[in-house]
Amino acid sequence: MENRTNIQNSLNPNKWVELYSDYLYKYAYYRVNKDELAQDLVQDCFLAALKSCESYKGEASEKTWLVSILKNKIIDHYKKASTRNESPLQINSYNVPSYDHFFNSKKNGHWQSEAKPKNWVANENTFDAKEFHKTLETCLEELPEKWKGVFTMSLLDDTDSKLVCKEFALSSSNFWVIIHRAKLQMRECLEKNWLQL
């Protein structure tokens, strides 16, 4: 019992805002691309952490523990937003783009010649530029909510696909369809707005 108390005492909630708020805000903003939402998620994270201090086992650092709580808050946000706004594979939905212009149905689904992926000519500093990150954020905003959550969790956070499927209640095939379509849309958006090829 004493060891358990020592672990809980190693948490310092009075210092969380000072020590971790900037890091957590940047972490959340990078995944949701909205200032106010990122701030709300960090506040929700701190409140949830305060309520669950007793469950802290000391197996991870305080910062890592807070990040894991924030990750769950972000996932919850995307799950709630996607159930309000869309069905994940509803092709005719108002906010789900058509993919007819990418592939030629008369040629067994091969790329349309004008829609083939282009070679991205960029120097090593291109992808560190603020303009690129702003364009990336804009392109992410154009994805339907569930796609954004799946894309972010899978590709930006490098989460295992089985866990993403579990969190978003997706079959493996639905997951891969969403990832494929999100990548197509992101590539097209970046080519139009960043690389301007």
Q: Mark whether 170 and 122 lie in a shared domain.
A: yes
Residues 109 and 66 in one domain: no
Instruction: Pick 156 or 98 by higher pLDDT.
Output: 156
123 and 184 assigned to the same domain = yes
- 92 lies in a domain? no
Q: Are residues 59 and 114 in the same domain?
A: no
Which domain, by its residues, includes 11? 2-85
Each residue's pLDDT tens digit, 33-49 = 889 999 999 999 999 99
Q: What is the mean pLDDT of residues 159-176?
A: 91
Contact between residue 187 and residue 139 where contact means Cβ atoms under 8 Å apart = no
For the CA atoms of 116, 31, 150, 102, the dihedral, rounded to the nearest 10 degrees, stands at -20
Number of domains into which the chain is organized? 2
pTM metric for this prediction: 0.63
| Domain stops at, among 57, 85, 113 | 85
pLDDT digits (tens, 9 = 90+) for 142-166: 888 889 899 988 988 888 999 999 9
Mean pLDDT of the chain: 79
Residues 71-77, mean pLDDT to the nearest whole number: 91
Q: Which of 80-94, 112-126, 158-172 has the highest mean pLDDT?
A: 158-172
